[in-house]
Amino acid sequence: MPIIKVVIEAGGNLSYNFCMRKISFILLAILAFSLEAEAKIGLNVSLVYKKGIGKGFFLSTEQHSIEQVDEREQVMISMKNGIKAELSAYYVQSVHEYGPSGFVRIKGEIYNQSGKVVKTLNEPNLDIYLGETKKISHEERNQEEIDLIITPVSL
């Protein structure tokens, strides 16, 4: 009879260790998947201001930046002369693709030197594939131009 008792006790201890290992594995898997699910978007952004366009020559000022954007987070790119762009980006799932999306929607505004919103990127939607470059232009008084050049990349 004592032999059977030892086997039962050892079996109970083994099943407890097995359950703890299984639970630990499941928790680690959940943690790994939750970290992978948060994909970051990188935005290669160029803000270009051109002045004196109608006179045959012009002065150009440029600001280049690479911004890391979380889902729905806003970033600001600004120049010394007061021109700035406020941007946010997030992945949009395409009905024609399976798996992670390669499609990014950009929202935001472009401000002139006086701080007035001169261009809104929300209407119509600005949708760009990863690695593709889009240029948004705004011309003021036929002498000044503000260009925003965006290329989204996956980080």
CB 153 within 8 A of CB 131: yes
* pLDDT of amino acid 29: 59
Quick one: tokens of 77? Answer: 């790119």
> What is the average pLDDT score of the chain?
80
Taking the complete model, does pTM exceed 0.85, yes or no?
no
Contact 72, 90 (CB under 8 A): yes
Q: What is the pLDDT of residue 2?
A: 47
Q: What is the pLDDT at residue 16? A: 56
Q: Please state, in angstroms and rounded to a whole number, the distance separating the CA atoms of residues 122 and 10.
A: 66
6-47: pLDDT as tens digits: 444 544 554 555 556 777 767 665 655 554 456 788 999 999
Reported as a single tens digit per residue, the pLDDT across 70-91 is 877 899 999 999 999 999 998 8
